[in-house]
Amino acid sequence: MLIRFGHDFELVCDQETPLVCLVSARPERDADLHEVVPVKTWPPVPVSRYLDGFGNTCLRMVAPAGSFRFLQDAVIDDTGDPDPLIPTLRQAGIAALPAETLGFLLPSRYVESDLLSDAAWQLFGTSATGWARVQTICDFVHGHIAFGYKDASSLRTAAGAWQDRRGVCRDYAHLALAFCRAMNFPARYVNGYLGDIGVPFGGPMDFAAWIEVWIEDRWVTFDPRNNTRRIGRIKVAHGRDAADVPLIHSFGAHKLQKFSVWCDEVSQAAVMPHQIGSRADHAA
């Protein structure tokens, strides 16, 4: 399966503003990339890449004062398989966890697992362990929060989502992370592209947030927002919570003037070098 994905953002800055953006597929998907258009900006500015402490690809640039657009467009090979379902996986004991997972057991900026520990054990302490317990947590969070873009808030934490019972995909992820960590599962926040492939059209695209949980001997994908196995996830970044992986980290005030995201299955015939980047060519 081939998936075309990318974004087209336009910002308005009052003054020259440094940016760090996490919008590219993670490096482990490099071998799957079929076609990639280099980042295009209007007006043109230098764009450099680096990997952060979590191994995410970061784009670094300086937006000039006024209007600034940047766009990426790519095609990636995907298996077309839905998220894995492995209910036999068992929870690893703390002493057996790899050292690199331990940081994902701790509270973080948006994930107050310490504050929600009592609630987690009351809700899930008698549930089946391993994979089943994580799925039980996701089932609960999916039903606890009412989704609505109007309810998005950059200040809401997991505890806030627990109390407010409303939010967007990042709120589902943060609350599920808090419960998983409280139950001694290492769990990390993920954002990326998730198109409506194999499901009914859900409206204009946005970046999606989900979670990965360490069970037995591996990281496993769970999605408390959609709470169903999906096809064609393109992972952009992971971290302790949303604070680690902002799509746009601006070192100065800006206004988001335009926000367009795409992630669609395409045919081989549609993947031609002159067509890749056509969104930019038509919009420029």
Segment 108-123 shows an average pLDDT of: 98
Confidence at residue 202, expressed as pLDDT on a 0 to 100 scale: 80
State the Cα–Cα distance between residues 64 and 205, nearest whole angstrom: 27
How confident is the model over 61-92, as pLDDT tens digits? 999 999 999 999 999 999 999 999 999 999 99
CB 180 within 8 A of CB 213: yes
User: Is the confidence at residue 206, as pLDDT, over 70?
Assistant: yes
Q: At what angle do helices 117-124 and 131-144 cross, to 10 degrees?
A: 110
Looking at the predicted structure, is the pLDDT value of residue 278 above 60?
A: no
pLDDT at 205: 85
Is the pTM value of this prediction over 0.85? yes
Mean pLDDT across 191-197: 96
Token pair 């990339």: residue: 33
Structure confidence at residue 268 (pLDDT): 73
Q: How far is CA 81 from the centre of its chain?
A: 19
Mean pLDDT across the chain: 93
Mean pLDDT value across residues 119-138: 97
pLDDT value at position 269? Answer: 55
Q: Is the pLDDT of residue 274 over 60?
A: no
Range list of H helices, the chain = 117-124, 131-144, 158-164, 169-182, 278-283
The DSSP secondary structure of 156-210, one letter per residue, reads --HHHHHHH-EE-HHHHHHHHHHHHHHTT--EEEEEEE---SSS---SS---EEE
Q: Which helix (H) or strand (E) holds 130?
A: none
Question: What is the Cα 32 distance to its own chain's centre?
Answer: 19
| pLDDT tens digits, 218-270 | 999 999 999 999 999 999 999 999 999 999 999 999 999 999 999 999 987 56
The residue among 158, 213, 208, 156 whose CA lies nearest residue 180 is 213
Percentage of residues in the chain with pLDDT exceeding 90? Answer: 89
> What is the structure's pLDDT at 38?
86
The mean pLDDT of 81-109, rounded to a whole number, is: 97
